[in-house]
Amino acid sequence: VKSVEASIPEPQREAWKKHQVEGFTDKDGFEKEVVRHVETTLARSLFNCDEGAAYSATSLAFRDRLITEWNRTQQRQTTADTKRVYYLSLEFLMGRALDNAMLNVGLKDVARGGIDDLGFRIEDIIEQEHDAALGNGGLGRLAACFLDSLASLNYPAWGYGLRYRYGIFKQEIINGYQVEVPDYWLDFNPWEFPRHDVTVDIQFYGNVRKSQDENGKTVAHWEGGEIVTAVAYDMPIPGYATPSTNNLRLWSSKASSGEFDFQKFNNGDYESSVADQQRAETISAVLYPNDNLDRGKELRLKQQYFWVAASLYDIVRRFKKSKRAWREFPDQVAIQLNDTHPTLAVVELQRILVDIEGLEWDEAWNIVTSTFGYTNHTVLPEALEKWPVGLMQHLLPRHLQIIYDINLFFLQTVEKKFPNDREMLTSVSIIEESQPKMVRMAYLAIVGSHKVNGVAELHSDLIQTTIFKDFVKIFGADKFTNVTNGITPRRWLHQANPRLSELIASKTGGHEFLKDLTQLNKLELSIDDDAFRKEWAEIKYANKVRLTKYIKKTLDVTVNPAALFDVQVKRIHEYKRQQLNIFGVIHRYLALKAMSPEERKKQLPRVSIFGGKAAPGYWMAKQIIHLINNVGAVVNKDPDIGDLLKVIYLEDYNVSKAEMIVPASDLSEHISTAGTEASGTSNMKFVLNGGLIIGTCDGANIEITREIGQENIFLFGTLSEDVEDLRHAHTYGSHTVDSDLNKVFDTIQSGTFGEPNDFGAMVAAVRDHGDFYLVSDDFQSYIDTQKMVDTEYRNQDEWVRKCIRSVARMGFFSSDRCINEYAEGIWNVEPLVVK
């Protein structure tokens, strides 16, 4: 950029500078921008500007501001010639952008006034926005929190992903069943910039020809096949209280000619000419709706290569502009693989360096392994990605050859270190010798990266002692590390819970805590302040009232906002054990039914709130949803029960709903079978918003306990070190289910909650088929712990103190801390300080 600028004559530079866009800073300027966008960009007027148009114009006004900062940020980074981080993720679960942009830029109050002047309410405008739901759950939302932290901490960073036309499906609950409806979110998205000038042609299929160059070296040429074009769409990512604005670049696919095949068209074969175009567009059409599950579909592999190849082309192009030697590539570029989905990037970079740039294999491989880091997000075997060798051969013939070579050289080093250990070789080989043979993507990612990390301490220990233990022997323990997940306090406190954020600011000396979350610890000094605790409790109550109204509006069920709100919202999965929760609810219902009316009057009212999507092909998860809804239908209408128990299923759980639900919880459930939930991040969100947790010793629950103190969390259940023995005992010993749980099962099977056959498999999984998720082992301690919750909740003053103490000690779980750890320990990048 320096040289480009210098080459432009002074007067021209002056002309540009004179007209530089500065962006509004006050209400008047904001209104002017909104009106301009309504009247020109949207071609409407005062007379037909509805809330939707007002939302669009407001977003466009902010987008213009961001894009100016975005340009400057890029220019600063290029001029400073610093190392950049590239975060490759197939999922970015961003949620809404407008509220976040207003708050991060610090102009929400300005916008509120302006929108008011123009005749709207800011809350209504915010509600107009459709969530950008390009992710399934934890993994995708983590990527979104990371983008916020990277920008807020001034790191030179880009996110790279796919621009799905359909994000995660919309969930409807019809007659108690989940029904999936497509989520078409791109009608008009004011936050994206189509970059029709930034395109990359991506090759698939074809074959490999080898030739000799003038020095007698063998060169591979990947020829033929099919070309699809990737087009970049950019979304600006504003940092909080900093001008730094980063970029999320999402690739969209289209036919390489851009149009349909004219030859075919002229020959009258209109249909097939259009079909080619549609086939190309299919690549980025839809997000695969699986969480913690791999379903080896060819189109998914195509998506992965398409995205990875386009992103690497872009990264390499940017690097080449610096005119540095290739060996300096890792000094300029760090690439993080968010799970194994982008692992082909390892192979693609090796291909670029060897086949196209002509580097020697070893030199190229050094560059590759110094560039990549790999994050694992799950130990569940069904989620570990593998691709059939035959499919890889067909779709990416050159890449398969390179994978074989990587494997060969890798196994040679293993052989040297562990001579004559055939078992070791088969166990770590990137190619699984199964029928059919498979490429193990996690192994490829480990071999191709310089660091591998898990996402919470227990999880990082587990990967080193179970699924990847042989790799620890081969590479040494230094290659493996832990970075405990975090969440952005901007969205998950300041935006979702503005009143609490203001109260905290008033007690900690301003909004500094939003940039340095450890400052929350100052709250402990105010814990004996009666007025403070009173206001704290009032805020929680107001958040519960808001959710109460939403429940009334959407489900027509009246719940008592003074009841204990017990929440479990996350993807539906057997390992997350929503079934344990609903069995516990049934147990509570039976206990209440068995009481005399006098006894009942003494009980604490509770609302059990569930939400979450099941993967469309995950039958058992859908049965769990069905049971919860059926239980709700019976309990909520039972006159014996009244307010004492309500069971609510919130439809279509997503990021913007989480922003409303999380601040309204008294107790949230994080009750996975020990050793199965890699980290969890909603546990952090709930505690940060002043709710307590009931949970197992799993994932980040363990570190949360360490930080906030075990007197502030309700832990129960089996420990991870005992899980295997219990499973073994279930299968080979005698497995019995205690009488309380049996009563629950009998009630289900008596038809109290609808057709018993619908739930037969769910009951049998626990009673007859080995109870893999240890529901029976943990049931009694779960029930006992819930009783303790009831007792403790009655002492509201002590409960509020526990909540405040917990919030005060949550500083560690900011994604800022987490990103700083990645930057220092894995990426070796520095923030670019903005003056």
Q: What residues make contact with ligand 4GP under the rule CB under 6 A?
A: 137-139, 142, 291-292, 377-378, 383, 455, 485, 677-681, 699
Q: Which of 548, 681, 696, 785 is catalytic?
A: 681
Which DSSP helix (H) or strand (E) runs through 680?
none
Q: Which of 165, 170, 249, 570 is catalytic?
A: 570
In whole angstroms, the minimum distance from the beta carbon of 460 to ligand 4GP comes to: 11
**Closer Cβ to ligand 4GP, 104 or 375, answer by number:** 375
**Closer Cβ to ligand 4GP, 779 or 813, answer by number:** 813
Question: Contact 207/224 with Cβ under 8 angstroms?
Answer: yes
Give dist(CA 176, CA 610) in Å, integer: 13
**Closer Cβ to ligand 4GP, 222 or 610, answer by number:** 610
Tally of CB atoms within 10 A around 745: 19
Q: Which of 685, 730, 735, 809 is catalytic?
A: 685
**Closer Cβ to ligand 4GP, 137 or 342, answer by number:** 137
**Closer Cβ to ligand 4GP, 146 or 827, answer by number:** 146
Tally of CB atoms within 10 A around 29: 17
Give dist(CA 205, CA 228) in Å, integer: 11
| Residue located via tokens 């990359």 | 200
In whole angstroms, the minimum distance from the beta carbon of 284 to ligand 4GP comes to: 19
**Closer Cβ to ligand 4GP, 250 or 700, answer by number:** 700
In whole angstroms, the minimum distance from the beta carbon of 683 to ligand 4GP comes to: 9
Q: Which of 84, 170, 576, 626 is catalytic?
A: 576
Residue 459, judged by CB atoms within 10 A of its CB (0-12, 13-18, 19+), counts as: buried
In whole angstroms, the minimum distance from the beta carbon of 672 to ligand 4GP comes to: 8
**Closer Cβ to ligand 4GP, 653 or 745, answer by number:** 653
| 570 catalytically annotated | yes
In whole angstroms, the minimum distance from the beta carbon of 462 to ligand 4GP comes to: 12
Question: Contact 773/577 with Cβ under 8 angstroms?
Answer: yes
| 601 catalytically annotated | no
Long-range contacts of 737-746 (CB under 8 A, 24+ apart): 737/766, 737/767, 737/776, 738/776, 738/779, 738/780, 740/587, 740/779, 740/780, 740/783, 741/583, 741/587, 741/766, 741/775, 741/776, 741/779, 741/780, 743/587, 743/590, 744/583, 744/586, 744/587, 744/590
| Omega of the bond leading into 190 within 30 degrees of 0 (cis) | no
How is residue 487 annotated by DSSP?
B
Three-class secondary structure of residue 774 per DSSP: coil
**Closer Cβ to ligand 4GP, 140 or 330, answer by number:** 140
Q: Which of 76, 440, 571, 577 is catalytic?
A: 571
The residue at minimum Cβ distance from ligand 4GP is: 138
Which DSSP helix (H) or strand (E) runs through 441?
helix 441-447
Give dist(CA 29, CA 275) in Å, integer: 48
In whole angstroms, the minimum distance from the beta carbon of 485 to ligand 4GP comes to: 5
Q: Which of 27, 108, 165, 377 is catalytic?
A: 377
Helices 739-749 + 760-767 axis angle, to 10? 160
Distance of alpha carbon 748 from the chain centroid: 35
Give dist(CA 789, CA 835) in Å, integer: 50
**Closer Cβ to ligand 4GP, 131 or 677, answer by number:** 677
| 685 catalytically annotated | yes
CA-CA distances (angstroms) from residue 772 to 108, 114, 327? 49, 57, 50
Which DSSP helix (H) or strand (E) runs through 787?
helix 775-794
Q: Over 346-404, what HEC string results?
A: HHHHHHHHHHHCCCCHHHHHHHHHHHEEEECCCCCHHHCCEEEHHHHHHHCHHHHHHHH
Give dist(CA 656, CA 482) in Å, integer: 30
Give dist(CA 76, CA 701) in Å, integer: 40
**Beta-carbon contacts of residue 260 (< 8 Å; ≥ 6 apart):** 273, 274, 276, 277
Picking from 109, 106, 118, the residue whose alpha carbon sits closest to that of residue 55 is 118
In whole angstroms, the minimum distance from the beta carbon of 457 to ligand 4GP comes to: 13
Give dist(CA 17, CA 504) in Å, integer: 42
| 571 catalytically annotated | yes
**Closer Cβ to ligand 4GP, 504 or 693, answer by number:** 693
In whole angstroms, the minimum distance from the beta carbon of 817 to ligand 4GP comes to: 15
Active site amino acids:
377, 570-571, 576, 681, 685
